[in-house]
Amino acid sequence: MRESYINLENRTAMPWLTCRDVSEMTTDYLDRALPLSRRLGMRFHLAICSYCRRHIEQVHATVTLLRKLPPVRLSQKQEDALIDQILYAPISDSTAEP
């Protein structure tokens, strides 16, 4: 991952994350799987970027909602049909012209 650093008073370096960096690290941030330096970089970026704050809030709300759903139970026949669909369904090309 590419990141740049700014030097504050020649004493410390702080990761300067881009919106793309924040987007790529959103899941790890919400799962608290980032090392401290990355987490601080995220917090700093979120303090100054309303777009990324909104993005993080939306992902968090979606994950929270999905975790409340009951697990789906499939019969063996349904499971086999689903696997067949995943493995053998033709891939449509949405960029193809009609």
CB 56 within 8 A of CB 31: no
Nearer to Zn ion, 34 or 49 (CB): 49
Q: What is the nearest approach in angstroms of Zn ion to the Cβ of residue 52?
A: 3
CA dihedral 65, 67, 73, 74 (to 10 degrees): 70
Question: Measured on CA atoms in the order 31, 33, 36, 37, is the torsion positive or negative?
Answer: negative
Mask of contacts with Zn ion, 20-49, x by CB under 5 A? -----------------------------x
The answer to whether residue 59 forms part of the interface with Zn ion (CB under 5 A) is no
Residue numbers at the binding site for Zn ion (CB under 5 A): 19, 49, 52
